[in-house]
Amino acid sequence: MNIGILTSGGDCPGLNAVIRGAVRKGVRETGDTFVGLKDGWRGLLEADYAPLTTHDVRGISGRGGTILGTSRTHPYSQGGPDQMKRVMKEHNIDAIIAIGGEGTLAGAARLADDEGMPVVGVPKTIDNDLNNTDYTFGFDTAASIATESLDALRTTAESHHRCMVVEVMGRNVGWIALHAGMAGGAQAVLLPEFPVPYEQIYTWVRSARDRGRAPIVVVAEGFVSEDLDDQVSDAGRDKHGRVRLGGVANHLAPLIEEATGVETRATILGHLQRGGSPTAYDRVLATRLGMAAVELVHHKKWGYMTSLSGVDITSVQMALAVDNLKKVPQSRWDELQVLLG
């Protein structure tokens, strides 16, 4: 089979490992050929692609980003499914492996289920917010980068007896904040799923200060205090009208300093969490998911994606992975409480 691979949506550590795993599996075991579709769905809509051989993918599993490029081109733009089908027929592309997050997989599911297109998916997101997979590749790397940043900031916080407010990514879910906060020993962890009032944040900071600690506050970008009505944003809206999050740490820092008397600084990690080399865990997970995607293609399981269940790679319908966000459950929030303050 001649299989097209695309990466769509936000970039993520581990994308190249998926590509490598799929190509090596298909070429070596099932005699497939591959083409890399450039910049997500745009490459398929515009027939912009290049061959992918084992030579092209050698040594890329440790590289961040994606060798194929990515974009947020909507699969129903520029002629949509009809145009894609024409391109696939004219260029002898038998199936598509779509690697992406919630938006990409929702589009891929629609193409497979409603349009009858031969599409399978591989889930990626640093936010770890997709249903029906225990973890997504990219999350471990993002959480590790955030944790390393907390470790670095703690040394300067302790030197100056300051409080540090560290903002991490997480528009709707707080998995990165939760894991980085626990790993980095933060005294306050603020998640979108569990709003708390300002006074609770101040109490955690005062408790750490009174024990001689330099308080560390980790906040997900989408956190909204019980005292606010809307998410905090310094950057307005994007071209699609969606709020560009970022700035909740800058919002909280002066409030904490005024309420507690502890000198407070804010740091926004931003896209640092998306970049760099993937961790060993993410490289292995991404490689296994990519190899399994080739098996889905040969079993003609259109509309399905590869998934992690425990330590096993399985498959689930893409539509079931994007029907609801996988949020931090109450049980994880409850166990965190003993570590705060």
On whether 88 is known to bind a ligand per the annotation, the reply is: no
| Residue 206 in marked binding region | no
288 assigned binding-site residue: no
Please identify which residue in the block is written with the tokens 């528009």.
171
Tally of CB atoms within 10 A around 312:
10
With a CB cutoff of 8 Å and minimum separation 6, the contacts of 97 are: 3, 4, 5, 6, 22, 119, 120, 121, 122, 290, 293, 294, 297
Residue 194 and residue 141: Cα distance in Å, rounded? 24
The Cα–Cα gap between 59 and 250 comes to 40
- The separation between the first and the last C-alpha atoms of the chain, rounded to the nearest angstrom, is 57
Q: Is 105 annotated as a binding residue?
A: no
Bridge-based pairing of strands 304-309 and 2-7 is unpaired
CA-wise closest residue to 245 among 264, 219, 218: 219
Is 264 marked as binding a ligand? Answer: no
Q: Is 169 annotated as a binding residue?
A: yes
CA-to-CA distance for 267 and 171, rounded, in angstroms? 17
103 is in an annotated binding site: yes
* 170 in a labelled binding site: yes
Q: How far apart are CA 12 and CA 79, in angstroms?
A: 28
Whether 291 has a binding-site annotation, put simply, is no
Was 127 annotated as part of a binding site?
A: yes
Burial label, 127 (beta-carbon count in 10 A; 0-12, 13-18, 19+): buried
216-220 vs 163-168, strand pairing mode: parallel
- Write out the catalytic residue numbers: 127
Ligand-binding site membership of 260 (annotated): no
Is residue 104 part of an annotated ligand binding site? yes
Bridge partner list, 217: 165, 188
Is 58 labeled as ligand-binding? no
Q: Tell me the two tokens of residue 185.
A: 């020993």
Residue 272 annotated in ligand binding: yes
Q: Which residues are annotated as a binding site for ATP?
A: 10, 72-73, 101-104
Binding site: which residues? 10, 72-73, 101-104, 125-127, 162, 169-171, 221, 265, 271-274
Q: Which residues are annotated binding-site positions for Mg(2+)?
A: 102
Binding-site positions for substrate read 125-127, 162, 169-171, 221, 265, 271-274
